[in-house]
Amino acid sequence: MSLRGKDILGLQEMTPEEILLILDTAEGMKEISEREIKKVPTLRGKTIINLFHEPSTRTRTSFEIAGKRLSADVINISASGSSTVKGETIRDTAHNLEAMSPDVIVVRHSASGVPYLLAQALKTPIINAGDGAHEHPTQALLDLFTIREKRGMLQGLKVTIAGDIAHSRVARSNIFGMTKLGMEVTVAGPATMMPLHIEKLGVRVITNMDEAIAEADVIMMLRLQLERQHQSLFPSLREYSRLYGLNLERLKRAREDLLILHPGPINRGIEIAPEVADGPYSLILQQVSNGVAIRMALLYLVVEGK
């Protein structure tokens, strides 16, 4: 099995074997980040373009660090600094970037489907770094890696993904990945933030947060995606936090070895209380560290494939 030259667009179309190959490769990559000299020559002479048309702290920086730790040349392009502000289409921009012979293009865009459009238009492999409310495959891969690192396995674990499911590309990618690897996934949140027919993806739906927490081995809290909500989906932020926020009181119902994940950025005091985000169950910063290893693994597998 090889991912060399392949587009990495989403976990929906990935096989369990491909997902496990990436997680296993990331274990070796993580060791590189723990060395004093965090650099290997694996991708020397290769060029990676990060084309980010939506804000990002974690994903963009970790793709850049990942590329540089593998000795690739990394070029970052944002929407505001590119000729799209002069009216150039994203497709024309991508064709022009391809003319400079990159080995891979990493794309984030606020519109669902843009990485797919570019994958059809270009020969250069495309990695989806998050498209609209559709998929965020590298986030789900780092989440799976973080859970497996803590628990030693994934199969059979009960996971609750809680919050604004309807607007979350992280939820979608995780649902695809987790169900493929035999995890039991529950989605919890207000009915107004639950996509129609979500249970067809193989998940259980719960609207009572206390019930969802009591059963979970892992809980993944989602950011309230106010920028993607075009109408008010709950009476107030305070009400949302009271009913669906993860706080110390609610945590009393949880298992003692609960793992808490959040893809970031977090809305402190809304979907997660600061003392929970910074507390002993939280893996939020481990997720960020593991994001570098996952992106190193993907760049290596897509560009070199061995």
Write down the least CB distance from residue 291 to ligand CP, Å. Answer: 8
Write down the least CB distance from residue 285 to ligand CP, Å. Answer: 12
Binding region for ligand CP (CB under 6 A) out of 54-62, 72-80, 111-119, 295-303? 54-62
What Cα–Cα distance (Å) separates residue 58 from each residue in 6, 54, 191, 259, 266?
A: 23, 12, 30, 20, 12
> In terms of CB distance, is 11 or 254 closer to ligand CP?
11
Binding mask 99-138 for ligand CP (x = CB under 6 A): -------------------------------x--------
What Cα–Cα distance (Å) separates residue 133 from each residue in 85, 109, 110?
A: 23, 10, 8
Binding region for ligand CP (CB under 6 A) out of 51-59, 86-94, 160-168, 239-247? 51-59
> Residue 205 phi/psi, 5° resolution?
-110, 130
With CB under 6 A as the rule, give the number of residues binding ligand CP. 9
Write down the least CB distance from residue 223 to ligand CP, Å. Answer: 9
Task: Name which of residues 182 to 241 contact ligand CP (CB under 6 A).
Answer: none
Write down the least CB distance from residue 204 to ligand CP, Å. Answer: 25
Write down the least CB distance from residue 142 to ligand CP, Å. Answer: 9
Write down the least CB distance from residue 262 to ligand CP, Å. Answer: 9
Q: Is 58 in the site for ligand CP (CB under 6 A)?
A: yes
Q: Are 19 and 141 a contacting pair, CB within 8 Å?
A: yes
> In terms of CB distance, is 130 or 190 closer to ligand CP?
130
Q: Are 261 and 221 a contacting pair, CB within 8 Å?
A: yes
Q: Binder to ligand CP among 125, 163, 190, 263 (CB under 6 A)?
A: 263
Q: Is 59 in the site for ligand CP (CB under 6 A)?
A: yes
Q: Is 57 in the site for ligand CP (CB under 6 A)?
A: yes
Largest CA distance in the chain: 57
Q: Are 287 and 143 a contacting pair, CB within 8 Å?
A: yes
Task: Name which of residues 155 to 174 contact ligand CP (CB under 6 A).
Answer: none
What's the rounded Cα separation, in Å, for the pair 192 and 66? 38
Q: Binder to ligand CP among 139, 241, 282, 290 (CB under 6 A)?
A: 139
> In terms of CB distance, is 156 or 265 closer to ligand CP?
265
Site of interaction with ligand CP (CB under 6 A):
56-59, 130, 139, 263-265
